[in-house]
C-alpha cells in the first residue's frame, strides 16, 4: 500500500483523491493547512510515504518544517520554493530557455520609479509571494501611479513586469513521471474577468500548429530542467510573435479541470500516478471540443447544467460568497459549434463581457 498525503484539503485535494478511488493499493489522506500545528504536521508526514500539495501558497514555517522530509515531497522542495516566489519563477523560466516579459525586483518606492524608467509603461507590479485570482497585483499606467501602487501592495518584496501586449491567455499542462516519462494535454484558451478564470476552451480557437508545438517544447524544457515529478502548468500569453510565459503552477490547475471528462486521463489522476512511481497515461481528448466554466459566487446558474445531456456539474460544497469558486461545469461536444451553443445555454454562469467572445483577430 502506498500512502499519499496531500497538503491542503480544498477542491484540488478532493479531486486528486477522487481521481484514483478505483486503485486499492493507494491510500490518501489530507492535511488541513488552515488548522496547522507543528506537531500535527510531523504526525501527518510520519504516517505517509509521499507528500504532495494542492497549492504552492504554503506558509514559510511549514516549508521550513518540510526540509528534513524533502525525500518524501513530490513535486520536490526545490520546485515548491521556486514557484512560491515570482522572481525565482521568472529566473527559472529564463534558465529553461522560455521567453518571459522583462522584469525587475522592487523593494522600495525608489525601486518602483526605477522599474518605470527601466521597463517603460505600462507595467504590472505583483507581490512575489501569495496572490491569486488577481489579488496582489497593480497595473501602473502613468508615473503618478507609483505611490498608489506602493501603498496598495508594497512595503514588501514585489516584482515589476513589462506589460505584454497579448492577444489572449492560454495554458499548457504536462505530467512527468519519476523516470522522466512525460505526457502533455492539449492547450486551452483561458478567459478571465476581474482577475478570475471564467472559462477554458479546448481546442484553443485558431491556435497554430507552430505555437502549440512551442508550448509543448517550453513545458517539457521546464519540467526536465527541474527534474520535476507530477503535474505542472505553464500559463502563456499568446502574442502576434509567439508565446510569452506568464506564470507557473507546480500542481494541477483550474484550466485543466476539463480533463476530468474531456481527456482519456485527467490531470489529477496522472499526478497521483506520477508521484506514486507509476507510468503516466494517455492524455488524448475524448471529444472534439470541450469547455470548462467556473461557477463563481452563486451556484444557482449551475443548476441548469443538470438538464443538459453533455454538461457535467461539479460542486465543491463551499459556502457562497462573492468572487469565490464554488464549482465548475464541463461541456463536451463533437464539434466547436455544439460546444459553443451549450456555453450559450449556460451563459448565466458568465459575465456579459466574456460571452460571446470578441473577435481577437487571431
Residues 30 and 53: beta-carbon distance below 8 Å: no
Say how many CA atoms lie within 13 Å of 14 toward its Cβ: 9
Q: Which residues contact 136 (CB under 8 A, 6 or more apart)?
A: 126, 127, 130, 153
pLDDT score of 288:
98
Cβ neighbourhood burial of 214 (10 Å; 0-12, 13-18, 19+): middle
Give the Cα separation of 260 and 252 in Å (integer).
Answer: 12
Element (H, E) at 267: helix 267-275
CA dihedral 79, 74, 271, 242 (to 10 degrees): 10
Cα 191 to its chain centre, rounded Å, is 13
Give the Cα separation of 293 and 84 in Å (integer).
Answer: 27
Residues 176 and 230: beta-carbon distance below 8 Å: yes
Three-class secondary structure of residue 339 per DSSP: helix
Say how many CA atoms lie within 13 Å of 267 toward its Cβ: 25
pLDDT score of 251:
98
Query: Domains of the chain by range and CATH?
Result: 2-83 (3.40.50.20), 102-162 (3.30.1490.20), 168-349 (3.30.470.20)
DSSP letter at 100?
B
Q: Among residues 56, 103, 90, 70, which one has the least CA distance to residue 222?
A: 90
Peptide bond just before 75 cis, omega within 30 deg: yes
Give the Cα separation of 347 and 293 in Å (integer).
Answer: 9
Q: Among residues 287, 82, 270, 310, which one has the least CA distance to residue 181?
A: 270
DSSP letter at 34?
G
Element (H, E) at 270: helix 267-275
Q: Among residues 247, 258, 253, 235, which one has the least CA distance to residue 82?
A: 247
User: Cα 333–338–341 angle (5° rounding)?
Assistant: 125
Give the Cα separation of 361 and 240 in Å (integer).
Answer: 10
pLDDT score of 136:
86
The gap between the terminal CA atoms of the chain, to the nearest Å, is 50
CA dihedral 337, 343, 344, 347 (to 10 degrees): -160
Three-class secondary structure of residue 356 per DSSP: coil
Give the Cα separation of 186 and 195 in Å (integer).
Answer: 23
pLDDT score of 134:
62
In order along its 362 residues, the chain shows pLDDT tens digits of 999 999 999 999 999 999 999 999 999 999 999 999 999 999 999 999 999 999 999 999 999 999 999 999 999 999 999 999 999 999 999 999 999 999 999 999 999 999 999 999 999 999 998 766 667 899 999 999 999 999 999 889 999 999 999 999 999 999 999 999 999 999 999 999 999 999 999 999 999 999 999 999 999 999 999 999 999 999 999 999 999 999 999 999 999 999 999 999 999 999 999 999 999 999 999 999 999 999 999 999 999 999 999 999 999 999 999 999 999 999 999 999 999 999 999 999 999 999 988 755 45
Element (H, E) at 171: strand 168-176
Q: Among residues 215, 211, 210, 119, which one has the least CA distance to residue 158?
A: 119
pLDDT score of 358:
72
Peptide bond just before 203 cis, omega within 30 deg: yes
> What pTM value is reported for the model?
0.95
Amino acid at each position: 500500500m502506498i500512502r499519499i498525503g496531500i497538503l491542503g484539503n480544498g477542491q484540488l485535494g478532493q479531486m486528486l483523491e477522487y481521481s484514483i478511488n478505483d486503485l486499492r493499493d493507494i491510500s490518501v489522506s489530507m492535511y488541513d493547512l488552515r488548522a496547522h500545528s507543528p506537531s500535527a504536521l510531523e504526525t501527518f508526514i510520519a504516517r505517509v510515504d509521499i507528500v504532495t500539495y494542492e497549492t504552492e501558497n504554503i506558509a514559510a514555517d511549514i516549508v521550513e518544517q518540510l526540509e528534513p522530509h524533502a525525500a518524501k515531497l513530490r513535486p520536490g522542495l526545490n520546485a515548491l520554493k521556486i514557484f512560491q516566489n515570482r522572481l525565482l519563477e521568472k529566473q527559472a523560466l529564463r534558465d529553461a530557455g522560455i521567453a518571459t516579459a522583462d522584469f525587475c525586483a522592487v523593494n522600495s518606492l525608489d525601486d518602483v520609479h526605477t522599474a518605470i524608467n527601466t521597463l517603460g509603461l505600462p507595467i504590472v507590479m505583483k507581490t512575489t509571494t501569495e496572490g491569486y485570482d488577481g489579488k496582489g497585483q497593480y497595473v501602473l499606467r502613468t508615473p503618478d501611479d507609483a505611490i498608489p501602487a506602493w501603498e496598495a501592495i508594497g512595503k514588501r518584496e514585489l516584482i515589476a513586469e513589462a506589460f505584454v501586449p497579448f492577444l489572449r491567455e492560454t495554458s499548457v499542462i504536462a505530467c512527468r513521471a519519476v523516470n522522466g516519462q512525460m505526457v502533455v494535454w492539449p492547450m486551452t484558451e483561458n478567459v478571465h474577468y476581474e482577475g478570475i478564470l471564467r472559462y477554458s476552451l479546448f481546442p484553443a480557437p485558431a491556435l497554430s500548429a507552430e505555437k502549440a508545438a512551442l508550448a509543448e517544447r517550453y513545458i517539457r524544457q521546464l519540467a526536465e530542467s527541474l527534474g520535476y515529478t507530477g503535474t505542472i502548468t505553464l500559463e502563456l500569453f499568446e502574442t502576434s510573435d509567439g508565446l510569452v510565459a506568464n506564470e507557473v503552477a507546480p500542481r494541477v490547475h483550474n484550466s485543466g479541470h476539463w480533463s476530468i471528462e474531456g481527456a482519456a486521463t485527467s490531470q489529477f489522476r496522472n499526478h497521483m500516478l506520477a508521484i506514486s512511481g507509476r507510468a503516466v497515461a494517455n492524455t488524448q481528448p475524448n471529444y472534439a471540443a470541450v469547455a470548462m466554466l467556473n461557477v463563481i459566487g452563486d451556484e444557482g446558474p449551475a443548476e441548469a447544467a443538470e438538464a443538459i445531456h453533455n454538461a457535467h456539474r461539479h460542486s465543491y460544497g463551499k459556502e457562497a460568497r462573492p468572487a469565490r469558486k464554488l464549482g465548475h461545469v464541463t461541456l463536451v461536444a463533437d464539434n466547436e459549434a455544439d460546444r459553443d451553443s451549450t456555453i450559450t445555454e449556460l451563459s448565466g454562469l458568465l459575465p456579459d463581457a466574456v460571452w460571446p467572445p470578441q473577435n481577437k483577430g487571431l
